[in-house]
Each structure stands twice: as C-alpha cells, then as structure tokens.
Amino acid sequence: MTDQRVDVLAEPKHKEPYLQGLLLRYSVFALAFVVLLLGLVLLKWWLIGLGLVGIALGIYDIVQDKHAILRNYPLSGHVRYVLENFRPEIRQYLLEDDQVQVPFSRQQRALAYQRAKNVSDTNAFGTLEDVYQSGKEWFLQSTLSHPLKETNFRIRVGGARCLQPYDISVFNISAMSFGSLSAAAIEALNQGAKLGGFAHDTGEGAISPYHKKHGGDLIWELGTGYFGCRNHDGTFSAQKFAERSRLEQVKMIEIKLSQGAKPGKGGVLPKEKITAEIAETRDISMDKDCISPASHSAFETPRELVRFWQQLRELSGGKPVGFKLCVGQPWQFMGIVKAMLAEDNYPDFIVIDGAEGGTGAAPVEFMDNVGMPLVDGFLLVHNTLVGAGIRDKIKIGVSGKLISAFDIARMLAIGADWCNSARGFMFAVGCIQSRSCHTNKCPTGVATQDPYRQRALDVPDKAQRVYNFHKNTLKAMAAIVGAVGLDHPKDLRPYHIARRMDDGSIKLLSKFYYFTEKGVLLDLSARAEIFNQMWVMANPDSFLADNEALIAYNNDARIKPPVPNRQRTPTKREELEPDDLGNNGVGRDPSPDRIDSVDLSATHYYTYEDDPH
Ligand SMILES: Cc1cc2nc3c(=O)[nH]c(=O)nc-3n(C[C@H](O)[C@H](O)[C@H](O)COP(=O)(O)O)c2cc1C
C-alpha cells in the first residue's frame, strides 16, 4: 500500500535543468553583452551601439512590470509582440485560403477590386467550388435566355402619403457616417453615386460638407442622436430637420432603429476625437463626449413611431420615409405593423440589416451574438407584411455581405426590392480589410480622421471606381436576369434558385423557405403557427410582448378545433407537391405556451403559391 502512495513532493520527471532554463530565457540578452564586447574589441561603433541598445532594452524588460513575457524573456520576448502585431497581414498575404471569409474572402475582395478598376472579372477553366456541397445554390437558367441592354434597374419608393417618390437603383451605398469614414472617402462615394445615379446613405453622423460637395443623391439617416437635427439636450429638433431635409439632394429619410453589427447598442464619440468639422456637422459640442443613446427619445411605442415617421414626412415636404433595423424580438416588429394598420399609415420603405453586417467599431459579443442574420430577418419582415396584407405598400431594402451580382440577385429573388452594400463600396475606394477602422490608423485613408492617412485617397480616381463597381455589378446581374429569361430583377422568384440539401437532394428556394399567403395574419390562419403566435403577442401600443394574450390564445387553441381557414382545402399545387417536411400546410403545429419555446425554424416551411412581390 505504501508503495502505491503518490509522492506529492516528487520532482517532475522531465524537469528542465535550472541552468538550461536560464540560458533559454536570457540567451538573447546575453548576446547583447557579447555584441558590446565584440564592438569594444574591434572598435566598431555600430556594434557598440547595437549592444548598448540591446542591453538597455533588456534591462528595461526585466524591470518593467506590465508584460510577464518580457520579464522572463528579455529581448527575445519582443518577437512574440512583433509576430502578434503582423499576424493579420501574414495571414492575409501568405496563408489565407481564397474562399475563407474573414469576413470577406480573398475571392470576394478580388471581385470588388476588379469591378471597381474596370478590369476583366472573368476566370478560366471552370468553377473552384464543390457544386455538390451542402448549401450550394445556383440559378436555373432558361432556354429562352437573352442578353439585356438595360442594366440601370430601378424601383419606385413612395406610398400613398408620399409627395416626392424616388426611383431608387436596386444597388446603393449603405449607411456609413462621416466620422467613421474619412472626408475623402465620403467625397469619393458621393461623387461615384452622382456619376452612376444611385443613392448614398449618410449614416447616422448627419450630412457633412463632403456629402454635399458633388451632389450625389442622399438618404439622410437619423439615429438615436438625431445628429444634424437635434436640440442641445440631444432630443429631436423639428425645425432643424425641416430646414435640412428639404435640401434637393436628400431623396429619402431613414430612421435607424438598429444595425446588424451592434443592434441595441448606443455609442460614444469621446470629446478628444471631436474635430470642429464633426461638431458642426453633427450639431454637437466639442467640450463633452458625444453620446448616441441605445434607443430613441422621439418615440416609445410602435404607434408613436408611426406618428414620428408621418411627422418627418410632412416636415420634409413629403419625401419617402422609412426605417432600418436588424430584427430582434419579432413581436416588436409585428407591433409596429399592427400600429401601421391601426393608424392606416405605412412607411415608404424598410431596410433590413443582417447580423453579418459591418461596423466601424463594436464589441465582439455584439458582432457575433446579437441580432438576426439577414435572410431570417428579411423573411420575417416580408412574411409579416404579406400576412398583414400590406406588402405592396412598402418597399424593402436589404444589406449584409451582399457583394456579388449573385448575392444581390438572390435577395431580390426571395423578395427584396433593392440591396445596399457598405463594405463592397469600401473596397471600391481602396479598403484592404485591415480591420483597423476603430483605431484611426486605417492604412488606406478610408476609415480614419488622420489628415495624413486620408491624403493617400485620391478622390476623383476612387469616385470613378465607385461608379465602376456599381455599373459592373449591375451589368453582371443583368446577365443573370437575362439568363433566367427575364427583363428586370424584380421578376426574379425564389423558384429560380435551387439549393443542395444536407442529404444530397436539391430544393427550390420557394420550397426551402416559408412564404406566407396574403392577409393570413389578420385571421390568424398562417400555416406556420409560430407567425400566428408572435402576431398575438404583438402590441401596437407597447414594444413589450403580450404574454397573457399568447397564453390565452394557446389555451383557446387547445380547447377549440382549428378555425376553418386552417383546414382549408389544399391548393392544386400543394396536392401535387406535398411538403418535403411531411406537412402540406394544413392544420396546426403543437403550440408552445411560453415565449422562450417559440421556434423560429418555422421560417423553413414553404409555399410558392403566393408571389412575394
Ligand atoms: C465603417 C462602417 C460604418 C457604418 N456606419 C453605419 C451607420 O452610421 N449607420 C448604419 O445604419 N449602419 C452603419 N453601418 C452598417 C452598414 O450600413 C451596413 O448595414 C452593414 O455594414 C451591412 O452591409 P455590408 O455587409 O455591405 O457592409 C456601418 C458599416 C461600416 C462598415
């Protein structure tokens, strides 16, 4: 028994000899002494200097108490910091796979650069992709395909109450403020937008002189700070808004509820970073930090939001007004839709941003783990509007890593009206994805306020690239639309795209995603029961969920047989093609009682009975 006892004081078997360890740790430091001695013997001043610098740095490393690595490994420890510093560059230039997205792959960036530089974007020898891999998607071309001459695709934004509708391009520059982007980048983007006749979203940092210099169409975004139209206490100023929104260049107004990379997060611009120009543009003081609160002060309920957009519409002289959001709690969006119905007042547009969206700066947890991805968010909004019978009154724009013509055509096919890109246009003005927007040290002068770094960005040259990127992307999309046998991307449908499933089979997107029928939410007859449940929880007078209503609804549903609508006769198509999930859309799913058991996977049911547009 005693033999088997563990000796807790025993020396580890492979203990490094003390001297060896010492040598390992101090060898480079010792080398500095050798260099100094050699310099003294040979009377070489550069060796003496090198040795002295090495010794001084080594002593500093041992004495300082911030970095344990340097204390243990004087001089040699610096190698770690150097490598760590250059890791992204080493990875990007030497090690990165062409298709690994960090967040954009080398292939995606190369495509944007080629299109921006107007050089050939064709490749040889066939696809590099595995066409049998799960999730792979492709358009189904037509034997009646034809080339399209017109590529300047536009759609009209502006509902019944709008007096100045805007014919927006199907591809535009997404919101990025002056402040997060440099003056030179803003100028280049706006001049490019002017050349190509497309829209440039100001971002929440207000309309700067650089937005106005070239006269490109603007979408003025109002965030929670109401920059450019605020009172001294940070609340909304109707008078300032009326003055500035009537600027001819401002074509639409966008209320920002949230953005995909940091939904639900406010922001602070420290006073040290507030230049006189930023202060004047944003209407803020230079003496204190500039706070963007997490939520709006102009409204507290869905109904107040509806009244706010109507106020903006009137103050701007009837321009299209809409809002941008990354979908969070679905019943809150549905509460807004209920308020629209109650007030009979609709936004002219909604922009959905996905969690995959970009930002100048955000905590990593927000970028990674808060907010709904684009397709799920879009389908929720689109289906809710169809289900409420008002989809035709509102146009939907989308953003979130849409960079190639396929990305754009795909979103239009599943029902979006137009697409925005932020980082695609950043690539067009020279961004190399160094991911240093938050450090003020952007190496290309795109996302920095440092005047010296900005000087590297040649505005006329980059404006031309912005124009080219837009033009060539739409040209490539026109080729897809023509190949499918259509004349305009608004005619693309989810059944024009096939998708490889996990089991190797293929499915049309019209079957892969759930598309609801018109008006079904109004009598709670959506096939995906989850939509009925979330609709029940939505409240036009509060952003809080009505849990009582959900519990009552579910109890009621258990007692009563399903309402006749839910037992509707299957359509011819449904009879012919039963759902792959074994549910032909008739009847009800089991009903959860509690919000936390709500299952959003319902977005993967299907029908293509209803046309999404
Ligand atoms: C540098 C930078 C600044 C941004 N600033 C704003 C902003 O002020 N307001 C906003 O709504 N979104 C902002 N965004 C988000 C973009 O408008 C867009 O919604 C998101 O990046 C998704 O598009 P992308 O994937 O094409 O970049 C910003 C994004 C970036 C990269």
Give me the pLDDT at residue 572, please: 44
Write the pLDDT tens digit of every residue in 527-582: 999 999 999 999 999 999 999 999 999 888 777 655 554 444 444 444 433 333 33
Question: Given 521, 542, 559, which residue is the final one in a domain?
Answer: 559
Give me the pLDDT at residue 562, please: 56
The answer to whether position 591 is within a domain reads no
Q: How many domains does the chain contain in total?
A: 3
Q: Tell me: do 407 and 533 sit in the same domain.
A: no
Give me the pLDDT at residue 175, please: 97
The answer to whether position 373 is within a domain reads yes
Question: Given 95, 118, 141, which residue is the final one in a domain?
Answer: 95
Ligand 1 centroid vs 424 CA: distance in angstroms?
11
CB contact at 8 A, 354 and 382? no
The answer to whether position 317 is within a domain reads yes
Which of 292, 359, 411 for mutating ligand 1's site (highest number of atoms within 8 Å of CB)? 359
For residues 417, 423, 428, 433, the Cα torsion angle rounded to the nearest 10 degrees is: -160
The answer to whether position 183 is within a domain reads yes
Could you count the other beta carbons within 10 Å of the beta carbon of residue 295?
12
The answer to whether position 251 is within a domain reads yes
Q: Find the residues whose C-beta lies inside 6 A of ligand 1.
A: 174-177, 180, 203-205, 221, 256, 259-260, 324, 353, 357-360, 399-402, 421-424, 437, 447
Ligand 1 centroid vs 79 CA: distance in angstroms?
36
Residue type, 238: A
Q: Is it the case that residue 229 has pLDDT exceeding 50?
A: yes
Q: Tell me: do 483 and 364 sit in the same domain.
A: yes
Q: Tell me: do 490 and 550 sit in the same domain.
A: no
Q: Tell me: do 156 and 84 sit in the same domain.
A: no
Range with the lowest mean pLDDT among 104-118, 281-295, 436-450, 569-583? 569-583
Ligand 1 centroid vs 174 CA: distance in angstroms?
6
Among candidate residues 368, 366, 300, 282, the one with its CA nearest the CA of residue 336: 300
The answer to whether position 266 is within a domain reads yes
Return the residue whose CA atom lies nearest to atom 20 of ligand 1.
357
Ligand 1 centroid vs 420 CA: distance in angstroms?
10
Q: Tell me: do 182 and 58 sit in the same domain.
A: no
Query: Which two structure tokens, joined as six digits, stand for 575?
Result: 């009879």
Q: Tell me: do 58 and 176 sit in the same domain.
A: no
Q: Tell me: do 72 and 214 sit in the same domain.
A: no
Per the structure, the complete domain to which residue 537 belongs is given by 529-559
Give me the pLDDT at residue 587, please: 30
Query: What is the position in ligand 1's atom list of the atom closest to the CA of 203?
Result: 8
Task: Give mean pLDDT, residues 258-281.
Answer: 83
End-to-end CA distance of the chain: 81
The answer to whether position 460 is within a domain reads yes
Question: Given 80, 95, 110, which residue is the final one in a domain?
Answer: 95
Q: Tell me: do 444 and 413 sit in the same domain.
A: yes
Supply φ then ψ for residue 171, to 5 degrees.
-145, 120
Q: Tell me: do 279 and 230 sit in the same domain.
A: yes
Q: Tell me: do 548 and 406 sit in the same domain.
A: no
Cα–Cα distance list, 11 to 15, 17, 574 (Å): 7, 12, 75
**Position 517 confidence tier, pLDDT thresholds 50, 70, 90:** very high
For residue 495, give the CATH number of its domain.
Answer: 3.20.20.70
**Position 181 confidence tier, pLDDT thresholds 50, 70, 90:** very high
The answer to whether position 593 is within a domain reads no
Q: Tell me: do 373 and 502 sit in the same domain.
A: yes
Q: Tell me: do 170 and 58 sit in the same domain.
A: no
